Structure 1
């Protein structure tokens, strides 16, 4: 693993080296101070990760990472932010894969780089890495969803606080009000304020709705195609959450929401007979990994069309997402996989669940 760190004070090199030794990691790290209008990145070897300060000499970190995207598309791009300047990240959402806080923390860097390595161990297709690396404008991370996730970690959070956060995005507000006033949730009384809507829907459904609106709201699809994808994702998520229990059910629900996110990327195989390029499932999983979503979700998205390729035994999140996607979208089921995981006899029960969900609004 070869890492180039640009602009950050090299005085922290000793701390990072000690941390690498503690973790038993044999990484090569080069620190470049950076000055003037240009930074001389090594051109004679593969770079796995580039970490850049927000300002490197007279060059902005985002501009440097733009060069990295062109010259080293295989490299993960990490931008360092000063505390209190998180708003600056908005200008670099299309450039940086990850954001870390300054001063650089060795453990945070190791965790970020390890997750990239784990993702690449999962998705080893070099064409995929090149394809995603060269996309000029990736869908940005679901900012509102991630903020909502952090807010929900507070056990004392109120419906009013959640409503205030959600109200920042008019598109999400419209979706929330539309859903909570649908026949499935309305109970005969119209809802017009976000605080009551949050209480009626519940936090889990709200989180999924925010995620579908943000993550599946980009791309070049027509409004009708995008709406169809979002509703299909919501149905698939609801079914996937019923196939497992406990925390696994929530992982499956989130992964199912994002199973088709790769279709928003150019140059991917969307499943058509004449399509080429990396499969949209793997491309979507790679994108989610760059966003920093948990590996079980990334893995489930990558393998939802071929669950037998997962490197674990038993029926878990990838299997649940595969079944949910197949039943909701009328796609082929891998019955051999279900037989191998002793789940085939549950298929009639799952079909019945899918039929019941199809009978109510998405």
Structure 2
């Protein structure tokens, strides 16, 4: 079935250029064009769109306002901002309702790949009710302790970029938001930024200050007393898993880019738990009650009760945000039972990093401890390889309090 893609720009010449540039996609996409926000909404009332790509500066209803309408009224439509302007106010207003930024003029390959990856990520979530909730998410939750530290440092007259980067790196949600922004086309970077520390240095503390303090990109996660799991324990697990993934990648002699992808995917592999807990609280309570009662795996019970897993939900959002496909794929597969063919992949490293942390550090007595799936274990070299990795991890001296 063809995808429906809507392009919105008040300049008809821009739309004609897009029509010509994307002509090779006619077999895969049905492309629609609108010259105003109002026309776009009227068209969307008649045709279900898979994605909307909107200019930012338009008379009447501008891009950020249009995308907010789309977010509320058509939450499962992917939302891209297409802009050639470096307007901080417009960027600030568009951060919440926008999944990705694309600069114009843009090339065909970049636009097609970004849209195809985002639509593929959406297909990871089979539960429509959950998809509608997740699609409306503006920000990942941030722990109050981290939020307070970052705002305190940014309030200083001359904040330290390194210290800000170190603080950001301690929080999974904050790291995801920073990486989303620094790797968006808006910043026009020629290389991929793979760590929060790099991101803060590249963006600069002034941009970080405006994004966090003035534009309210990040929101403090306020526990309601209904949290399905311990947030500090989850954060510790994600941080350790990222360190383990980096250690395994280095031990196996992987290239720098693949090692970076493994680190980031491991750091973000459980963001789906945050999203489900924040936006599907009742469903999550039922999942974790059954996990504790029956001593079962979280992903297994999620699949049984919700029809999806936190791995799929996390990969969905990261895919919408345009993180590298290797990262999205690894997050999606970090509970899969079957191995991938070929050489050791990013997804395999993240899978084993997650298992190793659960195996070595018992931080929740009520959950079933995972063991490597036999097929995946055999694919990477068997028990001997797993034991070698275990020794390397033990030498790192990681603890549940980190």
SS at structure 2 position matched to 1:292: coil
Is the Cα–Cα contact under 8 Å of residues 20 and 27 in structure 1 kept in the other structure? no
> Of 245, 255, 267, which aligns to 2:280?
267
What TM-score does the superposition give when structure 2 sets the normalisation length? 0.64
SS at structure 2 position matched to 1:306: coil
Q: Which residue of 1 aligns with 2:391?
A: 352
Q: Using the alignment, how far apart are the partners of 2:74 and 2:38 within structure 1?
A: 21
Is residue 254 of structure 1 aligned with residue 264 of structure 2?
yes
What stretches of structure 1 of length at least 5 have no aligned partner?
142-163, 178-202
Note the alpha carbon deviations across 1:51-73, whole angstroms, 9 max, x for none: 22224432232222122123222
Is the Cα–Cα contact under 8 Å of residues 272 and 313 in structure 2 kept in the other structure? yes
Note the alpha carbon deviations across 1:240-292, whole angstroms, 9 max, x for none: 12223223222211111111112221227766244654422111111111111
Matches within 5 A, 1:231-242: 231-242=236-247
Matches within 5 A, 1:1-362: 1-22=3-24, 25-34=27-36, 39-86=41-88, 88-103=90-105, 105-135=107-137, 137-139=138-140, 167=160, 172=165, 206-207=197-198, 219-221=221-223, 225-244=230-249, 245-247=254-256, 248-265=258-275, 266-267=279-280, 272-274=288-290, 276-277=305-306, 278-308=308-338, 312-313=341-342, 315-330=344-359, 331-345=369-383, 346-359=385-398, 362=402
CA RMSD of aligned residues (A): 3.9
Question: Measured at CA, do residues 94 and 253 of structure 1 come closer, stay the same or move farther in structure 2, by a change above 3 Å?
Answer: same
Count of aligned positions: 310
SS at structure 1 position matched to 2:52: strand
Is the Cα–Cα contact under 8 Å of residues 307 and 318 in structure 1 kept in the other structure? no
Q: State the Cα distance separating 1:294 from its structure 2 match.
A: 0.3
Moved more, 57-66 or 19-28: 19-28
What TM-score does the superposition give when structure 1 sets the normalisation length? 0.71
The structure whose RCO (Cα within 8 Å, separation 6+) is larger is: 2
Q: Using the alignment, how far apart are the partners of 1:10 and 1:216 within structure 2?
A: 36
Q: Using the alignment, how far apart are the partners of 2:392 and 2:199 within structure 1?
A: 19
Q: State the Cα distance separating 1:15 from its structure 2 match.
A: 2.9
Q: Using the alignment, how far apart are the partners of 1:216 and 1:226 within structure 2?
A: 17
Moved more, 122-131 or 290-299: 122-131
What stretches of structure 2 of length at least 5 have no aligned partner?
143-156, 171-193, 202-211, 291-301, 360-368
Is the Cα–Cα contact under 8 Å of residues 6 and 32 in structure 1 kept in the other structure? yes
Is the Cα–Cα contact under 8 Å of residues 264 and 327 in structure 2 kept in the other structure? yes
Q: Using the alignment, how far apart are the partners of 1:46 and 1:112 within structure 2?
A: 20
Note the alpha carbon deviations across 1:149-180, whole angstroms, 9 max, x for none: xxxxxxxxxxxxxxx99836975455789xxx
Is the Cα–Cα contact under 8 Å of residues 15 and 106 in structure 1 kept in the other structure? no
Q: State the Cα distance separating 1:123 from its structure 2 match.
A: 4.8
